[in-house]
């Protein structure tokens, strides 16, 4: 008996040890991997039904008690299909994307392959449906139940009675209706905008006939086919956008009488052809003709409606992006009413958010601006008078979630507590007093209920995989919350690396920069480790956050498991640190960023466990640009680099982003020359692998191929790999292949 017990204990100890020794694979860690979902922290999919909290699952929907967390079944997938009398072709496949559009009605909105349906889950029947499913840019309005969509390049509306309205006839590759414009810059992610009552639709019309085609090729047919992208490069022709407004009741479209731009400098104007917008081809509308002179388009963004649906507001930004104006227009005539606000800068102004009217006072709206150096909230009246600055300080309002109508407060996400945190606050619109709504730590992502009295908060901390709380919102007093989920560590039983974070000083000697370091699980400070710097470094992104594992990318875990130290630093130019921090890189992309990254290298070299003779670097997109920039400007520092989708010369990048940070090549030839990597190809000493999607439409392959050509001429020897059919980022399981390739390159040449 004693021997049996001893044998059992030995077996259990062996199993425990083997569990603790379990190693990760890329199938576990990479988002395209077969086991990736199983190693993500537990989650709950939640949505609001007015102020009622709903959990949606694949086959069930539950009502969640916000004070106790107790769940009550509302309905199942089988019940929905039974009530909807769905045949095999019209089956609703899952409930996880269900929404509840009406606060006081037991109605759930669902889509299937054939239609969009509203089901009354108390009466057990469909109460409304349309047949618009699968078209491009679907945009349904819950008030009028009209749907806008694009089909065969044309913009349509189907009203609640099923009547089809065609808003355009001249749509094509060149003339784009109802879709995102300006290459998704300035916060744009769609092209249709319903009035509050759903009776009018504002929409973008983009004429890109004057924009050059980039010659993409589809290699998969027997005979490869030409599939060009419209790609406006910095300093070259940009597309021209107008804004139309369609009225369902009158079946008429008017176009806002916006400025058509200003004359470009002589050096550029000669290259920009006249843009013509044929009014006759659009039914019941008046499309403004565009000047036939040299043309500098105005960028239109952040379209907003007045609560009564009679006025449209939007920001108008000149091509230089240093003169921004908030302008109002009459939605019935298209006439310009007034310029309500103007903001200029010696560098750039970047409007990212539409104005939002106070729900309890239609004569006042909230505007976001960085005019004092940090993104903050300002209260204006409808005449454009600034009434007060609602938030202020050396921190950033990162998101405005909505309003608590009872307390007359605004619910925001900010990094007031710490530059790498995201915390939830209620801001009193009368006093400006801020009330912290969460625990004051970590990274919080809240979703507000319809009245704003409740929110659910999904958050993480460096040692917290995911928690979910229901929070009762009350400005001026501590918020009360109920824990809905405490996720276990899904990596328990694996060899987990050591995650750390800290700060170093930037190259200016005064600015704090945040870093993350990832070390092998059995780290020994007396040993020397090959070290890889992962870099991005560009605007509108950050790599270090007070989230689980300090926001570490799972590939870093894979590399640490193989015996590397990983180092990640957010240099000046990255986001959420204010204008001075971001704009330090203006007209000289890559230069200040490299100086800061080299301060990171200096710090690494001061650590006894970092093998300074075995430093590698890796990054993608802007990070690919940074990777090659650092290898060529500091050729004796980095032994190995892997650059994905890299910008090589900013003159080949797109207009809106490129000209914001660099101006045009004609205006800033010195800056473009300094940032270009073409003439630095001769400096390459270490092993460099360049990887691109063969059909990258963000950083077009011209970048990589031109650099390879420069290396051929210089006699340097980079390696190159392309993913056929892939765009800027590898999708699906191709991402597993990509990260194995990146890893193997360091394994082959850095150790």
Q: Quote the CA–CA distance of 314 and 179 in Å, as a whole number.
A: 16
Q: Quote the CA–CA distance of 315 and 355 in Å, as a whole number.
A: 9
Q: Are 401 and 448 in contact (CB under 8 A)?
A: yes
What do you get for the CA distance between the two ends of the chain, in Å?
51
Residues annotated as catalytic are 621, 696, 728
Task: Report residue 618 as tokens.
Answer: 């890796």
Strands 116-120 and 125-130, sheet pairing:
antiparallel
Q: Quote the CA–CA distance of 183 and 241 in Å, as a whole number.
A: 12
Token pair 């439409």 in the structure block, residue: 697
587: left (phi over 0), alpha (psi -120 to 50) or beta: left
Token pair 């605004």 in the structure block, residue: 410
Q: Which long-range contacts (CB under 8 A, 24 or more apart) does 727-733 make?
A: 727/693, 727/695, 727/696, 727/697, 727/698, 728/621, 728/645, 728/693, 728/696, 728/697, 728/698, 728/699, 729/620, 729/645, 729/693, 730/32, 730/693, 731/32, 732/32, 733/32, 733/33, 733/34
Q: Quote the CA–CA distance of 76 and 61 in Å, as a whole number.
A: 6
- Nearest in space to 377 (alpha carbons), one of 329, 425, 417, 437: 425
Q: Give percent helix, percent strand, percent coil of the chain, each to the nearest 5.
A: 20, 35, 45
Q: Quote the CA–CA distance of 4 and 120 in Å, as a whole number.
A: 63
Beta carbons within 8 Å of 669's beta carbon, 6+ residues apart? none
- Nearest in space to 200 (alpha carbons), one of 155, 250, 245, 147: 245
Q: Quote the CA–CA distance of 169 and 177 in Å, as a whole number.
A: 10
Element (H, E) at 622: helix 622-633
User: How many contiguous H segments (helices) and E segments (strands) does the chain have?
Assistant: 12, 45
Strands 71-76 and 60-64, sheet pairing:
antiparallel
- Nearest in space to 352 (alpha carbons), one of 403, 312, 301, 386: 301
């Amino acid at each position: 008996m004693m021997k049996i017990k001893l044998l059992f204990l030995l077996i259990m100890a062996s199993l425990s040890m083997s569990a603790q020794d379990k190693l990760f694979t890329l199938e576990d860690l990479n988002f395209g991997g077969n086991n990736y979902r199983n190693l993500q922290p537990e989650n709950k999919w939640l949505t609001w039904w007015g102020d009622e909290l709903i959990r949606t699952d694949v086959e069930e929907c539950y009502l969640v008690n916000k004070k106790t967390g107790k769940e009550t079944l509302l309905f199942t997938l089988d019940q929905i299909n039974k009530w909807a009398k769905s045949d095999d072709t019209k089956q609703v496949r899952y409930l996880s994307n269900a929404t509840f559009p009406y606060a006081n009605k037991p109605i759930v909105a669902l889509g299937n392959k054939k239609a969009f349906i509203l089901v009354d889950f108390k009466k057990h029947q469909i109460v409304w449906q349309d047949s618009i499913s699968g078209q491009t840019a679907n945009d349904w309005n819950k008030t009028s139940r009209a749907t806008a969509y694009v089909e065969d390049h044309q913009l349509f509306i189907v009203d609640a009675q099923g009547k089809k309205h065609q808003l355009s006839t001249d749509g094509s590759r060149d003339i784009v209706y109802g879709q995102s414009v300006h290459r998704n810059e300035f916060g744009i992610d769609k092209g249709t905008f319903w009035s509050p009552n759903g009776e009018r639709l504002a929409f973008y019309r983009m004429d890109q006939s004057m924009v050059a085609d980039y010659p993409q090729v589809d290699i998969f047919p027997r005979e490869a086919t030409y599939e060009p992208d419209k790609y406006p490069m910095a300093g070259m022709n940009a597309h021209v956008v107008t804004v139309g407004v369609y009225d369902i009741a009158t079946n008429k479209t008017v176009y806002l009488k916006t400025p058509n731009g200003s004359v470009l400098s002589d050096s550029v104007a000669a290259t920009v052809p006249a843009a013509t917008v044929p009014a006759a081809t659009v039914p019941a509308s008046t499309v403004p003709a565009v000047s036939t002179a040299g043309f500098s388009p105005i960028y239109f963004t952040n379209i907003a409606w007045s609560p009564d649906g009679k006025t449209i507001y939007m920001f108008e930004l000149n091509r230089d992006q240093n003169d921004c104006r908030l302008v109002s227009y009459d939605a019935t005539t298209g006439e310009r009413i007034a310029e309500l606000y103007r903001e200029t800068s010696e560098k750039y102004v970047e409007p990212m958010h539409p104005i939002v009217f106070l729900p309890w006072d239609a004569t006042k709206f909230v505007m976001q601006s960085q005019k004092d150096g940090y993104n903050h909230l300002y209260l204006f009246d409808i005449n454009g008078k600034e009434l007060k600055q609602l938030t202020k300080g050396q921190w950033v309002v990162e998101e405005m979630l909505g309003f608590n109508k009872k307390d007359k407060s605004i619910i925001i996400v900010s990094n007031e507590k710490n530059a790498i945190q995201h915390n939830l606050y209620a801001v009193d619109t009368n006093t400006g007093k801020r009330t912290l709504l969460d625990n004051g730590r970590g990274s919080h992502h809240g979703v507000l209920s319809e009245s704003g009295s409740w929110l659910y908060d999904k958050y993480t901390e460096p040692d917290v995989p995911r928690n979910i709380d229901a929070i009762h919102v009350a400005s001026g007093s501590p918020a009360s919350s109920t824990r809905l989920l405490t996720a276990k560590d899904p990596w328990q039983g694996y060899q987990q690396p050591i995650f750390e974070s800290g700060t170093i000083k930037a190259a200016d000697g005064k600015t704090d920069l945040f870093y993350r370091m990832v070390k092998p699980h059995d780290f020994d400070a007396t040993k020397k480790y090959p070290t890889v710097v992962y870099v991005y470094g560009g605007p509108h992104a950050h790599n270090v956050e007070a989230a689980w594992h300090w926001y570490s990318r799972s590939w870093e875990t894979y590399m640490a498991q193989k015996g590397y130290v990983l180092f990640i630093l957010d240099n000046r130019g990255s986001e959420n640190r204010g204008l001075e921090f971001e704009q330090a890189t203006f007209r000289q992309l890559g230069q200040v960023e490299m100086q800061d990254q080299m301060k990171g290298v200096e710090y690494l070299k001061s650590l006894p466990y970092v093998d300074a003779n075995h430093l590698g670097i890796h990054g993608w997109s802007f990070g690919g640009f940074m990777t090659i920039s650092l290898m060529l400007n500091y050729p004796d520092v980095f032994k190995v680099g892997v650059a994905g989708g890299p910008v090589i010369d900013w003159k080949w990048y797109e207009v809106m982003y490129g000209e914001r940070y660099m101006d045009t090549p004609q205006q800033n030839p010195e800056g473009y020359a300094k940032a270009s990597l073409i003439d630095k190809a001769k400096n390459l000493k270490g092993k460099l692998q360049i990887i691109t999607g063969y059909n990258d439409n963000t950083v077009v392959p011209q970048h990589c191929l031109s650099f390879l050509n420069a290396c051929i001429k210089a006699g340097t020897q980079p390696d190159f790999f392309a993913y056929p059919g892939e765009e800027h980022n590898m999708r699906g399981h191709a991402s597993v292949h990509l990260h194995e390739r990146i890893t193997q390159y360091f394994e082959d040449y850095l150790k």
